[in-house]
Amino acid sequence: MSALAKARTYWRLGPANLARAALYRALLRAGHYRRRMPLGEPLRGPFFVFPEDSEAPHRPAITDAAAWTAKAQRVLGGELPVFSNGWREAGFPPRWQRSLITQVDEPSRALHWSMLPDFALAGGDVKGYWESSRFDGLLILALGWLCSGRIDLREGIARWLEDWCAQNPANTGLQWKCGQETGLRLMHTLLAADLLARWGGVKPAPALTDFVCQHAERIAPTMLYAVAQDNNHGTSEAAALYVAGLFLARHGDAAAGRRYAALGRRWLEERIGRLVMPDGSFSQHSTNYHRLMLDTCALAETARREHGEPAFSAAAVERLAAATRWLAAWTDPQSGDAPNLGANDGARLFVLDGSAYRDFRPSVRWAARLFLDTAPDAADERLAWLGLDQDARGEAGPRTHATQLLADGGYARLGTSGAWALLRLPRFRFRPSHADALHLDLWIDGANRLRDGGSFSYNAEDHWLRYFGGTASHNTVQFDGRDQMPRLSRFLFGDWLVAEELTLDEASTTVSAAYRDSQGARHRRRVRLEPGRCVVVDEVAGLRDKAVLRWRIAPDPGGWCCADGVWSDARLRIAVRSSAPLARFECVEGWESRHYDEKTPLPVLEVEIGADATLTTEITWPA
């Protein structure tokens, strides 16, 4: 890749963002943050004042008390949910300096956070070290106590906080390194405090106020770096500052609270205006990060209402309403699942119900209740815990158009009876997270039959990073064994593609788009969706050696058959025709990651050509 092309890519990241990131790194090297945020002393409890034992807590009627009590018992027994997918041994209190992925301790815990590396940790992926300190476990303990009133769970809440503070004094060690991780821990703690107060009459003690202060003091000075990322870091950290400020204004230093709340509000409104596009698309091109952003904004709005603060700006609320409709458009109404689009770090925040990680409906209902003023389309435990299950004025659930173009972010949705599809369009106002131009997702009767590969891990071996983020793990055409865009670094592609010939015909449920890459290869795709049938026409030109069309298919335990230009299993039939001879028509083993740090095999149909051609794929299923 030429120096000019690299310079062009970095310029598109934004001169202001480059300057912010450079300033942050300069301050880091100069020791500014060590002086501004010195190592602190451990906080000591109590953190909460519980009512007399005779005053039993209560809970919403919809709650499955036995389920929450059982989960809290698992936490007390030394297990934690990890990346929202299964439970792993963690100890109780958790071993805060041990990775939940590799079970390896990180020895550098006594250092100031600014002196620690981003990678090259003893136990690998930093997310394994951060997971327990996001405090999902604390929230589970709080819900378990509210559902049972058990003394051991109440004591477990105290032990959790006391041990974490003893092992992680302010600004000391890995748990303070990331402003967003600090913010997520803070928001989970404040949510637990709110629920304990609302349903159990529990009051915050001075140590909790100190805990909140320390976290806000860590986040505020590095907001410039969070903002430079143009991603969820800015929205998460701004939301954390806002809710922390509201808490402190009521329970601690009122002046500091007002200052943090004002700072958080300012940055949150600014980030929403910049990162959420008019059609609701979010800067990260990811369903899971979109959910994370929307959930943090929903928590901020919930706290704002509870504290009687002025409404967020009309412009911000309008963008959040659009973001809610965006997520609703990609949430399958039958399963609650959504396309495995873009980067995915396994995050799911503020879990107040028993739904699965890949069920996006609770987040859609929460955001719709707040930003669209619509009633939930089904009973919702999260809304009940938050006191938001009554008094909505609008109709139930956000309305979703079957066929629509979301051109700002680069998406087209086609819908027909029993099926819908997503076509990923190469339109990048913000950095692309995957090389997934013209990828097609197909959903039939609530199941994701043709699907995206996901992310797997941010700290995997190089070949896995390239595979999952690259063109080969998407339902599109790959030219000459390379990605559609050259990779400049772990999280950055260059030579961003530009969509051409974009059209959507709602009457015929047809969409088409094209791109030409930096090496002159051109791909034009037209997709038509009908009941029981999807026809995809790919015009492929400019290849030097070969081009490969891939269809990544949901695994079927009944097996499949692949011969004579037709692939089939019990649920799907894929037939491919070509205007030029096929060099290969083969079903191979591919990989997908439905949850972070987990990969599983799936069948991938590969259709290879050695010359420019038009490929026509007809996908059929029982209507």
Q: Are residues 9 and 150 in the same domain?
A: no
Residue ranges making up the domain that contains 12: 1-29
**Dihedral pair phi/psi, residue 51, rounded to 5°:** -70, 170
| Average pLDDT for 187-209 | 98
| Average pLDDT for 38-55 | 91
* Domain annotation covers residue 417: yes
What pLDDT digit, counting tens, does each position of 124-152 carry? 899 999 999 999 999 999 999 999 999 99
Q: Which residues of 85-115 are buried (b: 16+ CB within 10 A; e: fewer)?
A: beebebebbbbbbbbbbeeeebeebebbbbe
* Domain annotation covers residue 151: yes
What pLDDT digit, counting tens, does each position of 574-590 carry? 999 999 999 999 999 99
Q: Are residues 429 and 560 in the same domain?
A: yes
**Tokens of residue 295, six digits:** 């959930």
SS3 content of the chain, % helix, strand, coil (to 5): 40, 20, 40
| Average pLDDT for 259-268 | 98
* Domain annotation covers residue 591: yes
| Average pLDDT for 517-527 | 98
* Domain annotation covers residue 381: no
Q: Please check the confidence at residue 389 and state whether its pLDDT lies above 70.
A: yes
Q: Are residues 433 and 558 in the same domain?
A: yes
> Backbone dihedral region of 520: left (phi > 0), alpha (psi from -120 to 50 degrees) or beta?
left
Among 177, 203, 228, identify where a domain stops: 177
The predicted pLDDT at position 7 comes to 87
Q: Which residue in 396, 425, 382 sits closest to 524, CA to CA?
A: 425
* Domain annotation covers residue 19: yes
Q: Are residues 508 and 590 in the same domain?
A: yes
Q: Are residues 414 and 527 in the same domain?
A: yes
Q: Please check the confidence at residue 220 and state whether its pLDDT lies above 90.
A: yes
Q: Are residues 104 and 155 in the same domain?
A: yes
The predicted pLDDT at position 392 comes to 64
* Domain annotation covers residue 105: yes
The predicted pLDDT at position 393 comes to 67
Q: Are residues 5 and 86 in the same domain?
A: no
* Domain annotation covers residue 201: no
Give the contacts of 301 (CB within 8 A, at least 6 positions apart): 312, 320, 370, 371
For the chain, how many structural domains are there in total? 3
Q: Please check the confidence at residue 623 and state whether its pLDDT lies above 80.
A: no
The owner of tokens 């509000």 is 265
* Domain annotation covers residue 527: yes
Residue 54: pLDDT band with limits 50, 70, 90: low
Share of the chain above pLDDT 90, in %: 89
The predicted pLDDT at position 107 comes to 80
The predicted pLDDT at position 55 comes to 74
What pLDDT digit, counting tens, does each position of 62-91 carry? 999 999 999 999 999 999 999 988 999 999
CATH of the domain at 492: 2.70.98.70
What pLDDT digit, counting tens, does each position of 16-25 carry? 999 999 999 9
Q: Are residues 10 and 150 in the same domain?
A: no
Residue 534: pLDDT band with limits 50, 70, 90: very high
The predicted pLDDT at position 535 comes to 99
Q: Which residue in 519, 524, 554 sits closest to 540, CA to CA?
A: 524
| Average pLDDT for 101-114 | 88
Residue 1: pLDDT band with limits 50, 70, 90: low
Share of the chain above pLDDT 70, in %: 98
Angle between helices 254-275 and 314-329 (to 10 degrees): 60
Q: Please check the confidence at residue 365 and state whether its pLDDT lies above 90.
A: yes
Q: Are residues 473 and 590 in the same domain?
A: yes
The predicted pLDDT at position 87 comes to 96
Q: Are residues 410 and 452 in the same domain?
A: yes
Its sign, for the CA torsion 401, 402, 403, 406, is: positive
**Tokens of residue 346, six digits:** 């396994």
Q: Are residues 20 and 137 in the same domain?
A: no
Q: Please check the confidence at residue 222 and state whether its pLDDT lies above 90.
A: yes
The predicted pLDDT at position 160 comes to 99
Q: Are residues 6 and 136 in the same domain?
A: no
